[in-house]
Amino acid sequence: MCQRRGGSTGAVFRLDVSVLDKPDALGGDADVELDQRLRRLLLPEVSSRDIPGSEQFPGAAAKVFSDVDHLIAHLKSGANAFVTLDKSTILKRRAGLAAEGIVACLPTEAINTLR
């Protein structure tokens, strides 16, 4: 979920993860394609096979799905920047995220942009 002034924006509804009456919404083909592109970007070493589901590898899958869901919620929110401290995954892939329309930055970078 992406927090923004005036409410929150959910991600794409996932079975066994999302909760009814919350901000996650059903997605269409474009959402599925975006989800797949973000998965490949965040985990390029497994792009030739499916990312393991939470049933098989709960920890690994949870991190990937959490990152993807946060990035999708960010895009849906219309926010200007995805602010994170995640240097090992998100910030390492700034160029690829920028190609998807996502500007990822550290909190200090976001503050400096506002000055």
Please check the confidence at residue 100 and state whether its pLDDT lies above 90: yes
Number of domains within the chain: 1
Q: At what angle do helices 58-77 and 29-42 cross, to 10 degrees?
A: 120
What is the pLDDT at residue 2?
43
pTM for the predicted model, two decimal places: 0.73
What is the domain extent for residue 73?
2-114
User: What is the tens place of the pLDDT at every residue in 89-98?
Assistant: 899 999 999 9
Per-residue pLDDT reduced to its tens digit, 40-54? 898 766 544 555 555
